[in-house]
Amino acid sequence: MIDILKDKTILVTGGTGSFGSNFVKHLLKNSEVKKVIVFSRDELKQSRMQSEIKDKDKRLRFFLGDVRDLQRLERAFSGVDIVIHAAALKQVPTLEYNPFEAVKTNILGSQNVVDAAIDQGVEKVILISTDKAVQPINLYGSTKLCAEKLFINGNSYAGGKTKFSCVRYGNVIGSRGSIVDILLKKSEVNKVCLTDERMTRFWMTLDQSCQLVLFALANMEGGEIFISKAPSMKLVDLFSVIAPEAEREIIGIRSGEKLHEILLTEEEARHAIELDKYFVIIPEHFNIFSEDRFNKYYEMGEELPIGFSFRCDTNKDCLDKETFKNIIDEIREQIKYDSLR
């Protein structure tokens, strides 16, 4: 059981998304939370989620609203102890053509979360961020970088009463709308499009993303960015497991897409600590944050060597095909189970 969440009221923005819904289920099953509130703007997904989750203890609540609406967030955050901010617009090509929609949700919406949390006295707030926020080349990544900065520096306005931190990870295997999810739900895959055979990505499961957030909640002092030591894998290997017989077409790297992603830059590594399963980026602005609060990380882990960076193309931890196949088989079984419900 997760002791740190006992008798706490937790709200998840974007709670009907892949991470949000899985995190909510994890909390209801493995913790003694007082209440879990799903905050999202999609009434259909809320209705489906409500019918899917067996909430025998009646701890689950649904709150319809948009993070763009500060007044609605103020109402939703009343009496809440912990907020997990997972709401975001994420489709890279779509956001390139609808840029200010991304700004309104990912940047202004994140600032609204910061303001509402401070005003309502929320204890802890965590932003779900992405590797695309690191040295971004597309609008989505740029908006998530802004959101990270807003959260980290939100601590300077909270007076220590509300703590803000971030978690940052790469691709989640089987998340809704991902390439894995799309391919597995097709009855037959005859052809797949590869952008570049050299392309690599960080991969983790939904459960691992939940564990990262729980680790952050248990340890955060306010201002940190927590990063999972996720394994890497080439996309060509992904397709060889999911659709081994399908024809492959090389289409070239798309606009706003990187050949390799980065989770921790060389510059960030200068003020980061390596733990057993995670990296923790310590905030640089010690004139704002008390340095003593972060001493525990130096006791828990080690400083990184000069010139270190965590990139998926140089990552020593590679996700092998057999392990990936086992994960895919589990997802396939879950898809079959869901279709029969």
Helix (H, G, I), strand (E, B) or coil at 6: coil
Active site residue 132: yes
Strands 200-204 and 171-172: parallel
DSSP character at residue 253:
P
Cβ proximity of 181 and 188 under 8 Å: no
> Other CB atoms closer than 10 Å to residue 260's CB: what's the count?
17
Instruction: Of 88, 89, 91, give the one whose Cα is nearest residue 178.
Output: 91
Q: Which residues of 174-199 are buried (b: 16+ CB within 10 A; e: fewer)?
A: bbeeebbbebbeeeebeebebebeeb
**Tokens 């202004």 label which residue?**
108
Question: Of these residues, 132, 163, 229, 258, which one is catalytic?
Answer: 132
Cβ proximity of 181 and 149 under 8 Å: no
What are the helix (H) ranges across the chain?
A: 18-30, 43-52, 70-76, 92-97, 99-102, 109-120, 139-158, 179-184, 206-219, 235-242, 266-269, 295-300, 321-340
Distance CA 26, CA 33 (A): 11
Distance CA 288, CA 154 (A): 11
Backbone angles phi, psi at 147, to 5 degrees: -60, -40
What are the CA-CA distances from residue 50 to residues 26, 39, 234 (Å)?
15, 13, 37
Residues annotated catalytic, as ranges? 132
